[in-house]
Structure 1
Amino acid sequence: MKILFVSEQFPWPLDNGGAQRTHRVLEGLAGPHEVTLVAHEPTTDRDTGLAALEQLCEVVTVAELSVWRRLVQNVPRSSSHAHSLWLNKNASPTLLKRVLELCADQAYDAVHFNMLDTACFMLGREDRLPDKVIFDSHNCLSDLARQAAANERNQLKRFVLDREARALATIEQRIVERSTLTLVCSEDERDQFLAMASQACVKVVPNGATAQAPIEASPPAESRSLAFVGAMDYAPNVEGAQWFCQHVWPGLRAAESDARLYLVGRHPTRAVQALRELHGVEVTGTVNAVEPYLARASVVVVPLLSGSGTRLKIVSAMASGRPVVSTTIGAAGLGLVDGEHLLIADRPREFAEAIRRLWEDPDRASRIAASAREVFEERFTWNAIQLQLLECYDSLTAAVPMKT
């Protein structure tokens, strides 16, 4: 099958969950299918990124407009997302133009829209696209906006977020209704989209991690250390890091003077950078690999108060064999059992107590980590997930000849 894969973000470097998922989906599709990726020019490590992607598929890139130029071009022209501030800021007119040119020039069997900021291109343009349209959601953005509104104390900001949530929900409903196939990361998201469009074809293709030798057999380098991993410019991660450092960390540090907390992830905001002023907290910024920090930590924490999709940070910890303490939202969609695969706590005191229990009972920590590793090997390796992805495609296009 000949597939046009449309992504606003060039999936390189693989330093965030979105890029990792996009790259692995491309990798899975490029085996049996002929894939063309159209995306913005990579802004970091350009030559290496282009070389890596060109080994998988044909690559077409376009220049990226500034946010202000996107707003100027989107607001007066686009009826498909004019009421969403987020889409007016993120949807790319230059990318849309190139997609329509490619569809006019080439006979694609399907177009795969990666995330909502490209999927909105289909609205009102269905007759200019291939018959088969796939929407890969990554996150239910209307749900993220609703959560942000619920947590916002400022009335004006809450009003704006409520309005944005309604606008995004309307757009998501239209896209899911018009898509041949919608891919989501969890059963929770599947239920959310089916509530919007009950007749839609929505299938779960979860997030995963690369299978590797677990490190649980060896003790952590620091017995009283924690790691929180994720892009530190992503709002739910920033919110979670601040909540943990303000409400959980002081009590832990007071009881364990040698305790260490590593906030590991790219582009930390000023709010996250300010947390390094706290005793025992290290803000790493961009790192070449998170595995050394997972190996150093005795517990991985996921203190998220909002979010959608599934958390690659938990899957990575499961793959590495480190025990996890998470909020309910942080562990949503993974199907993990509290007390068996991880510990779940939503209040600061409960969260701190869960960490202490794992610190004080290394055998229990090892059992939980080993149990989570078994679930990872069964459900969350990228090899297994790529097979699920291909089954989704095969169910739609069994009669379409494959690339030889």
Structure 2
Amino acid sequence: MDDLLLLIHRMPYPPNKGDKIRSYHLLKHLAQRYRVHLATFIDDADDWQHVPTVQALCASSHFAPLHPKLARLRSLGALLANRSLSLDYYRDAGLARWTAQAMASHHISRIVVFSSAMAQYAEPYAQARRVVDFCDVDSDKWRQYAEQKSWPMNMLYRHEARQLLAYERTVALSCDAALFVSAPEADLFKQLAPESADRIGYFNNGVDTDYFSPARQYDDPFGAGERAIVFTGAMDYWPNIDAVAWFANTIFPLLRSRFGDARFYIVGARPSAAVLALAQLPGVMVTGTVPDVRPYLAHAAVAVAPLRIARGIQNKVLEAMAMGCAVVVSPQALEGIEATPGVDVLLADGADTFADQVASLLLSPQDAIGAIARATVQQRYSWPSNLAHIDARLECT
């Protein structure tokens, strides 16, 4: 096997942890074909327990501790230097030294970068074939943040959108392939970086449909007689926070007025103070970290994805579909997912429409939608077939 350097901004989890699924499956895929040398950050103390699982897939590895509060303070220096805050946030001298030693010791000729901020560690090695999985157009996410926030945060986010886009364009032009999570993301970046259009591509996320299977037996986590509406996701991520706050404050009261037994479950790790406060609203439940999201999806009356800001493909939607759960999505949450509104998901644009679509499922459960949704995921979102796209980019000469 040849040696390959893999740079990931946050340590990939085993496959039942939603926000790191793509990087974990990428690591597993590459480990079957190369001797992988992994450099990554750990920004959550709970992640250290997964280090042995990740190490077992690697020829060598380096895990750099990252303290989010300190990293945010450090990154503010980028404002004075007119740099991207994201680059300073993930800048670490120890990780750079380890990378240099790995490149020299193992004569590595291929580098895969996961997320734009990690591309800084691949910059010195132009002799290697370099493939960057941007996942999303992160600069456009910061642009959307700027439109939603007031001064002074909108100025900060606008700065980051501008500086990060400049860096994304530089990375794409200097690497051998720039990949994204969906065709719409790739098309957007082609518009933003037309000079690199010939090296821009994408590969879809996948779902482990054996793991996310409605055929298994799951204990019911809900109270007797509840009509459970479920949202899953990392609850310290601002687009998710915005989504559940909008649903809980604006949409859910419309449903509670019709269905007194309706409950809105917010299921996900690290709930922010704003999310925890939503538990004070009638019928809203905030679970925090749960060992397994599948029981919540298996027994839910409906899953919702009311995102108003989104980039890339929403794993939460694919996982709910794989579980055979009927899902109501906003246009932003559906972007990039090959699903047909009204057939395998229900689409809602606006609070009243969203409430009506959820109500239709509470009144009359539609098992056919869930069955078709699962079949769609099985057909279109297989990890092996989707990850084959990166093989061609790495072996192309």
The residue correspondences of 1:193-342 to structure 2 (distance < 5 A) are 193-195=189-191, 196-197=193-194, 198-212=196-210, 214-215=213-214, 224-342=227-345
Contact kept? 2:111, 2:122, Cα under 8 Å: no
Shift of 1:168: 1.3
Equivalent residue number for residue 147 of structure 2: 150
Shift of 1:57: 1.8
Aligned-partner residue type, residue 143 of structure 1: D
**Which residue, 163, 185, 188 being the options, matches 1:189?**
185
Tell me the SS of whatever aligns to 2:316: helix
Aligned-partner residue type, residue 112 of structure 2: H
Q: Distance in 2 between matches of 1:232 and 1:28?
A: 28
Aligned-partner residue type, residue 215 of structure 1: P
Equivalent residue number for residue 120 of structure 2: 120
Q: Distance in 2 between matches of 1:71 and 1:155?
A: 18
Aligned-partner residue type, residue 184 of structure 1: F
RMSD, aligned CA: 2.8
Shift of 1:93: 3.4
Shift of 1:343: 1.1
Equivalent residue number for residue 347 of structure 1: 350
Shift of 1:366: 1.4
Aligned-partner residue type, residue 133 of structure 2: D
Structure 1, residues 96-144: CA drift from partner, whole Å, max 9, x if none?
Answer: 2321222122211211111122013344x2xx35421111112211110
Q: Distance in 2 between matches of 1:14 and 1:42?
A: 18
Percent identity between matched residues is 28
Aligned-partner residue type, residue 186 of structure 2: R
Tell me the SS of whatever aligns to 2:304: strand
Q: Distance in 1 between matches of 2:373 and 2:360?
A: 17
Equivalent residue number for residue 178 of structure 1: 174
Q: Distance in 1 between matches of 2:152 and 2:31?
A: 46
Equivalent residue number for residue 90 of structure 1: 90
Q: Distance in 2 between matches of 1:91 and 1:206?
A: 28
Aligned-partner residue type, residue 289 of structure 1: D
Equivalent residue number for residue 107 of structure 1: 107
Shift of 1:372: 1.3
Contact kept? 2:111, 2:131, Cα under 8 Å: yes
Pair 1:329–1:71, CA change in 2 (3 A): closer
Q: Does 1:358 align with 2:361?
A: yes
Shift of 1:303: 0.8
Shift of 1:217: 11
Calculate the TM-score normalised by the size of structure 1. 0.88
Give the unaligned 5+ runs of structure 1.
Answer: 400-404
Contact kept? 1:207, 1:311, Cα under 8 Å: no
Aligned-partner residue type, residue 4 of structure 2: I
Aligned-partner residue type, residue 313 of structure 2: T
Q: Distance in 2 between matches of 1:268 and 1:72?
A: 22
- Of residues 293-302 and 214-223 in structure 1, the stretch that sits farther from structure 2 once superposed is 214-223
Q: Distance in 2 between matches of 1:217 and 1:50?
A: 28
Contact kept? 2:130, 2:177, Cα under 8 Å: yes
Structure 1, residues 146-188: CA drift from partner, whole Å, max 9, x if none?
Answer: 1112222x13322222222111111111111111112211111
Shift of 1:254: 1.6
Q: Distance in 1 between matches of 2:338 and 2:388?
A: 22
Q: Distance in 2 between matches of 1:266 and 1:217?
A: 24
**Which residue, 123, 128, 133 being the options, matches 1:131?**
128
Shift of 1:13: 5.7
Equivalent residue number for residue 393 of structure 1: 391
Q: Distance in 2 between matches of 1:41 and 1:148?
A: 25
